[in-house]
Amino acid sequence: MRKIKKISLLLILLTLFALFGIGIALAASGPELVIPSNVQAQANSYVDIPVEFRSNGTLVSNITFSINYDSTWLNFNEGDPLAVTFSLPIDFSSSDCWEAVSGEIQCIVSPGLKPVLPTVPSGVFLTLRLETLNAPDGTRADVFFDDNPIASFGGPDGQAVPDGSTTDGSVYFGEINWFVFLPLLIKQTPIPTTVTPTPVTPTPVTPTPVTPTPETPTPVTPTPETPTPPPACSNIILNGGFEEPDVAWYLPITNYPARYVDAVKYAGSYSMRTGINIAPDVGSYSSAWQLISIPNDALSAELTFYYKPQTEEPLALRLLSGVINRTSKVPLEITSDDPPLYDRQLVLILNQDESVNTVLMNDLSNTRTWTASGVQNLIYFKGQSVWLYFASLNNGNGQRTAMYIDEVMLEVCR
């Protein structure tokens, strides 16, 4: 009988799945972030890591997440102009990534604050460039999503989008030989041997009757389940409705400082006005600050507020937002030797040294209506104290810009 060599396709696939992270993903029911496995790299160079968003039929306008990488073999250089490259529509100009600690990159995908929030399209929306260190060929360095906190997704209605998921990836140093690991299963068909059977005379067996014994059921007393108490939540913003003038908010003295006002408000008797509404236009930063501390054991931290923007500037300038350097300090006032080109309406998170950490809004709007901000996720700042910063910037060209703020809340659940 001839021998037949047979390759087990199933075994080949299973080997690929185990060695190279190639698998068949179950259809996700919610939004998904994906980093590919075994992105090929060479030592002492760099590697570009694509991050893909899959909507899976959901509508997502905001994403916050952290990516960890193996710092033994990889390094993130924020000074590299190609360290972070977003592939998003222009509406998402408030998106940013930065290294919070060595080996952890935090990212926010956000359109800022707009009356109608756009949605993130499916596809590769972010490329991170990592420097590769002196790793020997065959080294695999993990690049994965942090689960503390987990990635979160916000919809265009300002509410959280449930059932989000992430898929981790890796970097592989050197050439990948896809065939060296493929096991071949050689199956040999045995040559049949003729065997003469010996006749056997069966011995009859007399069955022994069995009388069944009835079972007495043992009563079981159900143990009541103790429900898990819901997390305790509280608003940690002080005087968020601005009903107590000169309480909790820092209003720097500038050419035209921010003020508590009673003529325009969303609720209660007062709101906060930043910028210039009726007075002659002058070059000025007009801002309101509050130092916030998010507890280290926080499970969530969600910022919401209402704002009413107005401007006399041409709205075509809203696309000319300029660049807000994340590591530079926010100026308290405009200097005559370096006046800004455009008016802006700003909502920022500042570090304690007053340098910019996160841009929540960098816009120029004239809706002149009260608008809900939607939920801004600040959980990445747990265990930290940072400044919440509202401002309107006027460049003194005779066209005034202002923004009113009211009902600021930062709900922290623990």
pLDDT of residue 330: 73
Task: Kindly state the helix (H) or strand (E) to which residue 288 belongs, with its residue range.
Answer: strand 283-294
- Which among 321, 359, 312, 367 is positioned nearest to 342, based on CA atoms? 321
Q: Please answer whether residues 35 and 53 qualify as being in contact, where contact means their C-beta atoms are separated by less than 8 angstroms.
A: no
Mind listing the pLDDT tens digit of every residue in the chain (414 residues)? 444 444 444 445 445 444 444 444 456 789 999 999 999 999 999 999 999 999 999 999 889 899 999 999 999 998 888 889 999 887 787 788 888 788 999 888 888 766 678 899 999 999 999 999 999 999 999 999 998 778 988 888 777 888 899 999 999 999 876 554 444 333 333 444 455 556 656 666 566 666 666 666 666 666 666 666 667 999 999 999 999 988 999 999 989 999 999 999 999 999 999 999 989 988 888 999 999 999 999 999 999 999 999 999 887 666 555 556 555 677 776 665 566 778 889 999 999 888 888 888 888 889 999 999 888 889 889 999 999 999 999 988 899 999 999 999 999 999
Q: What is d(CA 48, CA 132) in angstroms, rounded to the nearest whole number?
A: 10
Q: How far is CA 281 from the centre of its chain?
A: 39
Q: What is d(CA 87, CA 97) in angstroms, rounded to the nearest whole number?
A: 13
pLDDT of residue 98: 85
Q: Please answer whether residues 373 and 302 qualify as being in contact, where contact means their C-beta atoms are separated by less than 8 angstroms.
A: no
pLDDT of residue 411: 95
Two structure tokens written together for 165: 């998921």
Q: How far is CA 110 from the centre of its chain?
A: 9
Domains of the chain as residue ranges with CATH? 32-173 (2.60.40.680), 233-413 (2.60.120.260)
Q: Please answer whether residues 389 and 286 qualify as being in contact, where contact means their C-beta atoms are separated by less than 8 angstroms.
A: no
pTM of the model as a whole: 0.59
Q: What is d(CA 311, CA 365) in angstroms, rounded to the nearest whole number?
A: 6
Q: Please answer whether residues 368 and 308 qualify as being in contact, where contact means their C-beta atoms are separated by less than 8 angstroms.
A: yes
Residue type, position 81, single letter = P
pLDDT of residue 258: 95
pLDDT of residue 342: 81
Q: Please answer whether residues 237 and 408 qualify as being in contact, where contact means their C-beta atoms are separated by less than 8 angstroms.
A: yes
Two structure tokens written together for 319: 């696309």
Query: What is the 3 state secondary structure string of 141-182?
Result: EEEEECCCCCCEEECCCCCECCCCEEECEEEEECCCCCCCCC
Two structure tokens written together for 245: 């003038």
Residue type, position 235, single letter = N
Please provide the DSSP assignment of 240-260 as one string.
Answer: TT--STTSS-B----SS--EE
pLDDT of residue 149: 77
